Amino acid sequence: MAPLTSIAWVDNQVRILDQTKLPGEIAYNTIVTITEMYDAIKMLKVRGAPAIGVAAGFGLYLGMKDFPDSSSLADFLTLLLKNADFLASSRPTAINLFWALERVKKVVHSQKDVLSVSQLKELLLKEAIAILEEDKAMCQKIGEFGFSLLKEHKTLLTHCNAGGLATAAYGTALSPIYVGLEKGKAFKVYADETRPLLQGSRITALELMEAGVPVTLICDNMAAFVMAQGKIDAVIVGADRITANGDTANKIGTYSVALAAKEHGIPFYVAAPSSTFDTTLESGKEIPIEERGQEEIVNGFGKLTGPEKVPVYNPAFDVTPHRYITAIITEKGVLEPPFTESIATIIS
């Protein structure tokens, strides 16, 4: 497994790896306030749908930990909702963010009539830690199911980062690769660089190299040609939100990879925990897509790469229609088409 850790509870503090500094610097930050956690999510210091969910749980605790024990329960609950809304506004697409916040709010409300304010704060922390530990276990299971599906393949292509640094550990799309490594199977991986923030080159390539996995970095616009050359056996990516019919939102560029894979007869797999499914949405047309600033494209990493005043359209995600997805790998098993039916079997 990759030795780098995205988020952890260490010495009674939240510690995150500042992924904006990768690969040049490996720097861990201690997050002590809800505002710091909001900024960490918004600025992509912590990123990846599952890791964002974990961060949200801890962020809500940080926003409540200093609430006076002697104050009223009503004031406590009012602030809890305000803080949850604040964190929810950090990024709109990754459903795990909202899932974690709703989970924590629900457990607090279920105990508000029997626990004191002090005990409710302890419950908040306990639930945040539980989300962290459950994410580790879910990623392990995704890896095991994914490895069983992929073990006959030799070379995989992935887009963006869905490894240990996008989760609490192991990752989603990269988890089968790490499980394979533990079982003596060394997959070869092609990693798309993933414009404009280069999560594939800055993070995935680094993470795989740290783990001893053979990885080759390519530009995004090379993926179809690499497939045409017969270098790719399967594609596996993560997800930020999956709707009831299997449409999948993931980092911008994923849709293009899926189209290329379909053209070349290459299986296209999505790996995600059940918390990434949003069955309140019927299709990907309903998924809110985050748009980010023009500086990421025309002035990325401090280098001017376009006219300063040129209009920019910068969606952070796209949606891959379910018809291009071969299977979805979850901690509860592998889901196959028709996805409306198979997804319903794991989402209660």
Question: Which residues are annotated as catalytic?
Answer: 240
Cα-only R_g, the chain: 20
- CA distance linking residue 45 with residue 143, whole number of Å: 25
Asked if 254 and 316 touch (Cβ cutoff 8 Å), the reply is no
- CA distance linking residue 43 with residue 49, whole number of Å: 14
202: helix, coil or strand?
A: helix
- CA distance linking residue 103 with residue 131, whole number of Å: 9
- CA distance linking residue 117 with residue 68, whole number of Å: 8
Biggest CA–CA distance in the chain, Å, is 68
Question: What are the tokens at 318?
Answer: 């796209």
- Secondary-structure breakdown of the chain: helix, strand, coil percentages, each rounded to the nearest 5: 45, 15, 35
